[in-house]
Amino acid sequence: MSRRPRRGSSIVLPCRDEDELKLVLSNLHIGQALDPVLVHDWYYRLGEIIGLWFSEEERKQEARPVEKALLSTAKNLTEVSKLLSGHETGFRTGVEIAVASETAKYLALDPAVGSLAEAQKLVSSFQRDAARIAHVALVAYTALADQSAGRGRPALGWYDDFTALLLDMAKKGGIEPTLRKDRISGARGGWLFEAAQALESFLFPHMRSQSPEACGKRLERSRRRLRERQKSAGR
C-alpha cells in the first residue's frame, strides 16, 4: 500500500516511467522488485522525494518572483500531466484513470470536439505537451537560478529520503548496500553507489549529482545522518 506524502509536500511525476523503474531494479538484481505493488510504492516514493525537493526550492526562492513562478509552473504542469496520464501505457492509479476518463467524457460534449475518441486524443496530446512545457520551465528556472548571486549551497534534506529509499530497496532485495572508494584511483563503487547513479535518472536534472564523486559524498553524508537519527530514536 502506497504511503501518504509528508505534510507540506506533494507527489511529482518522475522523469522516467514506472516500467523503466522495473527494468532498472532488475538490473540492480532486486528480484522482489518485480512485484508491481512494490514497484509502484517505490515509484510513489520517488515522486514524493521530487515533491520535497520542489518544496525546498520554493522556500529558497521566496524573494525571487520569476524563479519562483517558473518553478511553480514546472511543478503544476508536471502534476497535471500525471493526473491526465490515466490512458497512457504503464501502471496507472485509479485516480489517474478516473481523472483522464472524466475529463475526456465531458470534453466530448463540446460540439467542437464531437466524439469521445477525439476527446481522448486531445487529453493525451495535452498531457504530453504539459510534460514537455514543465520540463522546459524547469530548465529555465535552473538557468536563471544559477545566474543569481548568492544562491548558496542547495538544501539536500530530500537526499536523505532518497538514500533511505535505496536502503529500503536493498533490504527488501536481500542485498548488502555497500559503498566504497578505491584508495588509489579514488573511484567510487558498491551497490548503493550504483543504485544511486541509476535511480538519480528518475529525478529532475537539477537534483542529480554533478559527478560520481559528488554522488558518493552525498550518499556518505546522508547515510551518516540516517544512522545518527536511528541512534537518537533508539535512545
Q: Is the pLDDT of residue 165 over 90?
A: yes
Of the three residues 119, 147, 175, the one that is the final residue of a domain is 147
- The CA angle 164-85-42, to the nearest 5 degrees, is 15
Instruction: Give the Cα separation of 41 and 62 in Å (integer).
Output: 32
Same domain, 79 and 126: yes
Closest CA to 77 of 142, 40, 128: 128
Same domain, 127 and 58: no
Model pLDDT for residues 67-77, shown as the tens digit of each residue: 888 888 988 88
**Looking at per-residue confidence, does 138 or 44 come out higher?**
44
Instruction: Band the pLDDT of 152: cuts 50, 70, 90.
Output: very low
Q: Please report, rounded to a whole number, the percentage of residues in the chain having pLDDT higher than 70.
A: 86
Instruction: Band the pLDDT of 91: cuts 50, 70, 90.
Output: low
Domain boundaries, position 183: 10-62+153-235
Task: State residue 65's pLDDT score.
Answer: 84
Same domain, 161 and 52: yes
Same domain, 158 and 230: yes
In this prediction the pTM is 0.71
3-state helix, strand, coil in the chain (%, to 5): 70, 0, 30
Instruction: Give the Cα separation of 137 and 210 in Å (integer).
Output: 20
Same domain, 82 and 28: no
**Looking at per-residue confidence, does 202 or 78 come out higher?**
202
Instruction: Band the pLDDT of 215: cuts 50, 70, 90.
Output: very high
CA 135: distance to chain centroid? 13
In a domain, 1, yes or no: no
Instruction: Band the pLDDT of 12: cuts 50, 70, 90.
Output: confident
In a domain, 81, yes or no: yes
Task: State residue 55's pLDDT score.
Answer: 81
Same domain, 44 and 104: no
